[in-house]
Every structure is written in C-alpha cells, then in structure tokens.
Amino acid sequence: MEKDWDLKTLYFDTLPSTQLYLKELIKKTQVSLPLAVVCKKQTEGIGSRDNEWISQKGNLFLSFALPLSFLPKDLKLESSSIYFSYLLKEILEEFGSKVFLKWPNDLYINEEKVGGMITNIVNDTIICGLGLNLIKSSGGFTCLDLELDKNIILKSYFQKIEKKQSWKQVLSKYKINFYTNQNFFTHVRGIKVSLSEAVLENDGSLNINGERIYSLR
C-alpha cells in the first residue's frame, strides 16, 4: 500500500450533490488529497447522461477525489468509471450481493439498476461520484440485495482502492463477467445500441460493428 495514503472524509446531512461540492472545493481551494465527501441526502443528485439520481435518505451518496498520479499507470482516464465501479462491485460481491457491472458505470441486480458512478477531471485530480441504493427508492430503481452498513462499504471500498490494482487485473476479471451485459443497451450519440454483439477491448472501449465506443462518464 501507499505509505502516504491518508484519506479524510467530510460528512454532511444534506448537500445538493457530493460531486458538485467536491468539484467546487477543489477548484477554489487547496485541499489535501485523497478526500471523500459523504452525505445522508442529496437534493440535486446527478445520474448518467445528466439525469437526476433519486436521492432518498438512507442510501449511499459519496464522492471522492484522488490525484491523477495515484491511478494505476496502465489505466486510461476514459476507463476510470469502469475501474472504480468494478472495484465496488467486487466489494459488494464479497459480502454476498449478486450485483454486476453494466458497461461502463452502472451497477445492476437482475435487470434493475442499484447504483452508478460518474468521473470528472479537475486540474490534476479525478473526482468519482457514486450513488448506491441501500433502500428502495421511489424512482423505479431497486435496492441492494443485502443489508449492509454504509460505513462498512466505505471502509472496505477505500481499502481496495488503496491496494491500487492494475487496470490489467481489473479488466481481465471484468471480461469474464461481461456476458452479463448481453441483454442491455448503451447510448451512443443519443442512440440506444445493443450490447449483445459488443466486444470489450483492452483499453475499456467497446467494439460494436467495427466502431470503437469510449466511456464519456
């Protein structure tokens, strides 16, 4: 593990968005990294393609920031969402969940979404925003298939991040599980595209009918 890993976590009852809060904090002030922000409720949570993420109290709302220099040397920034989402998927799986990762950043159980990850780059910092339903929401999403304290999730997740697995290691495991994506779609330039014929490439992109599709989240 990195000797200089000293994660600080800020806790709030309510925020518009942990991701926006952390992004503005890094833009305007000198902060010590790594840094995480957790809140009990979000009023303006952000989901995929700028959709609203239903932010019911009791779910997990987290954003964390790492210096780009901390990332595995073989990880391309376009695949950061895949990398950090898969690490969380592994943690939840270790506790007994049937969760899987839908390319590139959505966590699903069966055919229902339970969470997702969005990444942004600010200066020399990567910011990862995570929403995970621990209880049933009113927005049509399901919740995690086991009862698990959010503090236990966070502790285990950050310990895994600290170990700094290589992208090659994470990708090799995700490729084995990529068949779980076959019945789903992704959006390419606003158009729904089936993942049934998609091939996951070594850089995290998808090859669909000869076209390379990269994650923009």
Query: What pLDDT, in 10s, does the model give residues 107-130?
Result: 999 999 999 999 999 989 999 999
HSE, side-chain direction, 13 A CA sphere, residue 202 = 3
Q: At what angle do helices 150-163 and 80-94 cross, to 10 degrees?
A: 130
Contact 64, 151 (CB under 8 A): no
What does each C-alpha distance from 55 to 85, 103, 163 come to in angstroms?
A: 19, 22, 30
Per-residue pLDDT of the chain (217 residues; tens, 9 = 90+): 444 578 999 999 999 999 999 999 999 888 999 999 999 988 876 655 445 555 677 899 999 999 999 999 999 999 999 999 999 999 999 999 999 999 999 999 999 999 999 999 998 999 999 999 998 766 656 899 999 999 999 999 999 999 999 999 999 999 999 999 999 998 888 888 899 989 999 999 999 989 999 886 6
Residue ranges of the domains in the chain?
Answer: 8-177
Task: Report whether 194 contacts 206 (CB < 8 A).
Answer: no
CA nearest neighbour of 130 among 176, 87, 165? 87
- The secondary element (H helix, E strand) that includes residue 168 is helix 167-177
Q: How far is the C-alpha of 122 from the C-alpha of 120, rounded, in Å?
A: 7
Sheet holding 206-208, edge to edge: 199-200, 206-208, 211-213
The CATH class, in words, for 8-177 is alpha beta
Residue 39 in contact with residue 13, Cβ under 8 Å?
Answer: yes
Q: Are 206 and 195 in contact (CB under 8 A)?
A: yes
Amino acid type, 18: T
Rounded-to-integer distance, Cα 86 and Cα 100, Å = 8
Q: Which residue has the tokens 């992109």?
A: 205
